[in-house]
Amino acid sequence: MKTKYIIFFVTLAAVVLLDQFLKAYIGGSMNLHESIPVIEGYFNITYVKNPGAAFGFLANSAPEFRSLFLISVTVIAIVLILYFISKSTEKEVFLTFSLSLILGGAVGNLIDRIRFGEVTDYLDFYISSYHWPAFNVADSAISLGALVLVVEIFRRRT
């Protein structure tokens, strides 16, 4: 099997499985809006549901529109990522890795949207009363994948 496909499948599976396991664990062991301090004053595990996208985007729109829009955009992104991975070469390890992280995160959140109509978030970072919007492993994988992709694009330009 080609190295890029091993990187792809291992990364995708690790992200989706970890994301879904933690969401199920949080949902099964905590009450909605319950918070467990991890690092007092900076980080809690807080069980929340996000009907929108990143930072609550579209959270207040009509549920039917929001669901159709977010699922459609995610499916289009998945198709595009699969296309770019299929066209990548064996030497483009960081490209494959970054796209696999993004895909794993997209699939993890898509599963929640299809099953529940909203996404489970639980990582709550803050300083005093200033909170970063809660997020999850899927969101983290998307962000990390995007960062690696940007670094890879700049690396290729030099």
Q: Which residues are catalytic?
A: 121, 139
Kindly tell me the number of DSSP H helices and DSSP E strands found in the chain.
Answer: 4, 4
- What pairs with residue 130 in β-bridges? 127
Distance of CA 20 to the CA centre of its chain: 11
Question: How far is 130 from 133, CA to CA, in rounded Å?
Answer: 10
**Type of residue at 33:** H
Query: Is the Cβ–Cβ distance between 45 and 33 less than 8 Å?
Result: no
> How many CB atoms are located within 10 Å of the residue 110 CB?
20
